[in-house]
Every structure is written in C-alpha cells, then in structure tokens.
Amino acid sequence: MDDQTVRTICYLSRLKLDDEKSKKILSDLDTIIEMIDSLSSTNTENISPLYNPLEETARKFNDKIKSDNNKELFLESAPESDENFFLVPKVVD
Amino acid sequence: MQFKTIKEINAGLVSKKFSAEELIKYTFDLINENKDLNCFISLDEENALAKAKKIKVKKDSHLLSGIPIAQKDLFCAKGIKTTCGSKMLENFYPPYNSKVVEALDAAGSICVGKTNMDEFAMGSSNETSFFGNVHNPWKKGFVPGGSSGGAACSVAAGLVPAATGTDTGGSIRQPAALCGLTGIKPTYGRISRWGMIAFASSLDQAGPVCRTAEDCSILLDAMSGYDSRDTTSLNLDPTNTFADLSKPYENLRIGIVDEFNIDALSKESQTLFNESLKVFESLGASIHKISLPNINQSVPTYYVIAPAECSSNLSRYDGVKFGHRSLEAEDLESLYINSRSEGFGDEVKRRILIGTYVLSAGYYDAYYKKAQQVRRLIKNDYEKAFKEVDLIVSPTSPSEAFEFGSKGTQDPTELYLEDLYTISSNLAGLPALSMPHGFVNGLPVGIQLTGNYLEESMILNFANRFQQSTDFHNAKPTFEDFQ
C-alpha cells in the first residue's frame, strides 16, 4: 500500500493514525493484503457471488410510519443535544 | 452449586433445596471472589436480585426459570451498559432490548451481567478488549479464546452455568474449545440479530456456551425463532433440540476433511482426534473421508468479507447520535475523525481500513466480488459433501490456549489462522458445535461437529451421546495459578 492509497483509505474511513502506531498498522495491512491476494489463484469464472449464506431469507419491508415517537429517549444517548436535536459543531457560518 | 449444569440447578430449585434468591446471592459471591478473571464488564446485581425474589420455580416451570446466565456485552439490554468491549461504547445504555435478551428473560433466566469480549467481536484471544484481557480459568495469563472470551471464562470458572455468545468466524466455538466447554453456532438466521451489535451481518450469529450439549439445547430452543425485526431471520418455529436429544439418530455417516491435514497437528492432538473417532464409531457412526476442495481459501475469503461488512457497519459511530465523542473537534469533519480515532482500538482500525480498501473503487472486483465468488464455491463444496455424510468432524482450533501476547503481535495473520477450522461454516451459514475431547499440555481442546442446514438437533443429539460416553465435559479447573 503506497502513501497516497493509505491517505485515501484513512480519509474514507474517517480515521487518523498517530505517528507512533501508523508504521506498525501499515505493515500489518500489507501482511493482510498479501494473505488475501491468494484468492486470485482460485478460478471463479461464471461463479456468481454469494452475498448472503441463505439468499432466500433476505426480505424487504415496506416503509411504514409507526406511532411511537422516541425522540427524547434517543436524544438521551447523544453526547450532546438540546430538546429537539443532536448537536454538532457549527457547519455553516 | 458451582460447576452444576442447568438441569442440576433446576432440580435444586424445584425441590426447594435452595431458592432463586439464594442462588443469585451465591452467584454474585462467586463472581466477586473471582474478579481477577476479568470476565465481566458490568454486573446487574440489583435487578437480578429483584427478579430472583419474585421467582417461584415449580415442576412445570421453564428449565431456565431462575437460572443465572451471563450475556455477552454486545447484546443490547435496556438501561444496562452495553460496551461491545470498546471505548467507543464505554457509556452506552441501550434504549431497547435485543431479541436474545428478551427471549431469555421471558424464559425466566436471570441475567447477572455482561461479559468481556474482543472489541466489537474482532479477535480470537480476548486481547483486543478496551476493558483488558480475560484469563483462562485453566491457566492464569493464558487466553480464554475469543471473541466470546468472557462468556466462556464465566462458565468454565463455574460462576454461571450458561452464557450467550456470538460467532462471526468461530467466536463461540474457539473459546468453548480453549475453556473446555460446549458451544454451538446455529444455522445463519436461526436466532434473531435484533439488538445484537453488528460486526459482519452476513456472518454474525448468536448461540449458547454451556458445560454440556444438553444445556446448549435448552438455551438454543429458548433463543431461536422467527423475528420480523431481523430481515434475515428464518421464518421457522423455535428449535426443538432438547426434546430431540432422545431421538434415535442411528448409523450417522461422519466425514473427515482431507484438506484439513490432521497429520500436521501435534502428536497429542492427533491422538485425541483419533480416540474421539473411535468413540464416534462405538456410537454406531461410520467414518468417511471427504473433500472440500476450496476450504483452504476460507481464511482469505473471510478476511475480505468480514472487514468489508465491518467497515460499513461501524460507519455509524460518528460521535453524534451515541457513543464516544472527541473533545478535540473544531468542525464536523474533525468531530467524526477524532471521535472514531479515539474510540476504536488498533484491531478494529485495521479491519475498518482493510474493509474500506477492498470495497474502494479499483479494488472491489479483485477482492470483494472475488471473495463472494469463492464463498459460493465453499458453500457448493459443503452441499456436495452433505450428500455423502451427515456430519463433518474436525478439530475446533489448531492449538490449545496460549499465553497473552504470544500470538499475532508481530504478524496479525498468525492469530487469524486460529479460526482455520471454524470460519467456513460462517461463510456457508452452517450450524457447528465444539465440545471438549481431551487435554494438551494440561489445557482443554475441542472437537467440532458441523451439520447441514437446520440440523442442530442432529448435532446436539450426537454431542450429547458423546458426552454420555466420555467425561471431558465434567473436568473443572483447579484455580491453582490464581491463589
């Protein structure tokens, strides 16, 4: 993994690696990638991907409005909130 | 009452040898005397005692009525701290109950606390928990396995007769093996994942860790069943494995996988394996060699799919709605980055980064799609094998419990190989059980039985018969190292 790829992946993951640990984590990632590269040796021509072990069980639901409003309950779990909203740092000046 | 099975404790409750309240008080005394095991993250003594006081166990009560159990700390329990072994959820109190918590409460069991685990269930040694390592009750300073390490430790130490676990790549079976217990990962979809904090949704499945197959069947029957809140829940009645323990499953054909290369195991492990096969034969089973040609690709397949699903599932932790929030944020972007970087440990970060990499543009086909294609080949291999045999046997883990810090510190893939024998049943969604079958270097090791889809009854029935003919499940740690 080159530096540019690492920067992109970290940004996409919204993670930053501190200098002390980043060398070790990056070398670990290279080792893991080397291991998963062995997949290329398996012939998968005309094989469809299996995204779920029991494909037939994944069901869809119609969106339904439920009457219970748990706003206060859910806001209790928020690190910062007021009476109605989750609070975050200012986004627009 | 320490080290007793659910049935033995139930007999004591029914005959009024002791009350549910006395049992719970005794359980908390035991837990407090054994705090150095570090198997619990939080305890719920007040609620447990209040529930026990109300319970009158009668002959026709559910077998779990009044039985103390431990819940893995990734099952949401309303108002009870649920951390998933992470600083990210250090102060998270869920506003609702998971299906597993609901179901076991409804059966009358009493949750005494939440067990330690690898952070977000990512690990095979319980060394990635934010709340510290869990000791194997058989040897201080040795791992109990993971990720359900606290669950296995709490049962192996005799603190509770049963615990819940989850298994994404072996996280019930491997700790059960390393602690001398029985644990089953049922067919994918058997137990609802509602309220189970997600790691890799197409692989995650809950299950019990107990002293015996019989106790596992009691818990599995109570935990399983259709739940409309989980879109992958199987539309089936709860299992009936306890009643099926008395069914005559005769002349079972048991397969040994050629590619698992049993000859490469240590001599002691090979001897135990062969001795167990003789017991199987004495129970009327026949042993057959089978081939799973793509099974050796299970580990790399898993380490693409599981991190990919983890990177997606863990994107919800942003420091806004719940979980850890950084105090260092200047704007929204740095709030996300700092909260996640402070809240997650190294193993979780490694897996998120790998997952993001294999899902990113340019790599998706080479890794993610490719792994899902190999996954189908692995599933096809199993489907073919189950036309020839009824159960497949293998060791559960390549080795016995090891010392803290002795594996995976230089090369993380060394620890990933711990799950060599267990991962493929998660990829295929098959049920599999581990049970104790002897000792290597004084530490317990397990043997694994994998069955075809929905064959939990057959697996537990055969494991129960094995345990009626052997004594490994009755062995108890002496705690000599802990004095």
User: Could you tell me which chain A residue has the CA closest to the CA of B94?
Assistant: A77
User: Could you tell me which chain A residue has the CA closest to the CA of B313?
Assistant: A13
Choose the mutation target among B168, B373, B418, B450 for the interface with A, i.e. most A CBs under 10 Å. Answer: B373
Residue tagged active-site, from B125, B171, B394, B434: B171
Chain A contact present for B322, CB below 8 A: yes
CA dist., res. B160 & res. B4, Å (int): 9
Chain B contact present for A66, CB below 8 A: no
CA dist., res. B430 & res. B187, Å (int): 5
Chain B contact present for A52, CB below 8 A: yes
Surface of B (120-149) touching A: CB under 8 A: none
For residue B53, give how far its alpha carbon lies from the nearest alpha carbon of chain A (Å): 29
Chain B contact present for A33, CB below 8 A: yes
The interface pTM score, or ipTM, of the predicted complex is 0.94
Contacts of B413 in chain A (CB under 8 A): 31-32, 35
Q: Is B147 a catalytic residue?
A: yes
Choose the mutation target among B297, B349, B414 for the interface with A, i.e. most A CBs under 10 Å. Answer: B349
- pLDDT averaged over 10-residue windows placed end to end, chain A, 93 residues: 88 91 86 95 96 78 77 92 92 79
The predicted pLDDT at position A56 comes to 67
CA dist., res. A32 & res. A25, Å (int): 10
Check A86 against B321: CB less than 8 A apart. Answer: yes
Residue tagged active-site, from B109, B124, B129, B147: B147
Q: In which order are the strands placed within the sheet that holds B286-290?
A: B40-43, B110-115, B68-72, B162-167, B205-210, B182-185, B432-440, B443-451, B391-395, B253-257, B286-290
Check A47 against B376: CB less than 8 A apart. Answer: yes
Chain B contact present for A27, CB below 8 A: no
- pLDDT averaged over 10-residue windows placed end to end, chain B, 483 residues: 96 97 98 97 97 96 98 97 98 96 98 98 96 98 97 98 98 98 98 97 98 98 96 95 95 96 90 98 97 96 98 97 95 96 96 96 93 98 98 96 92 84 98 98 98 98 98 96 83
Residue tagged active-site, from B72, B99, B139, B185: B72
For residue B267, give how far its alpha carbon lies from the nearest alpha carbon of chain A (Å): 28
Chain B contact present for A40, CB below 8 A: yes
For residue B264, give how far its alpha carbon lies from the nearest alpha carbon of chain A (Å): 20
Q: How do the domains of chain B map onto residue ranges?
A: 6-255+387-482
Check B332 against A89: CB less than 8 A apart. Answer: yes
For residue A66, give how far its alpha carbon lies from the nearest alpha carbon of chain B (Å): 14
Chain A contact present for B318, CB below 8 A: yes
Contacts of B234 in chain A (CB under 8 A): 54, 57
Q: Is B269 a catalytic residue?
A: no
Q: Is B201 a catalytic residue?
A: no
The predicted pLDDT at position A24 comes to 85
Contacts of A44 in chain B (CB under 8 A): 370, 373-374, 377
Query: Cα dist. B373→A21, B127, B134, B232, B309 in Å?
Result: 34, 32, 37, 20, 16
CATH top class, domain B6-255+387-482? alpha beta
The predicted pLDDT at position B410 comes to 84
Chain B contact present for A92, CB below 8 A: no
Q: Which residues contact B414 (CB under 8 A, 6 or more apart)?
A: B407, B408
The predicted pLDDT at position A68 comes to 73
Chain B contact present for A1, CB below 8 A: yes
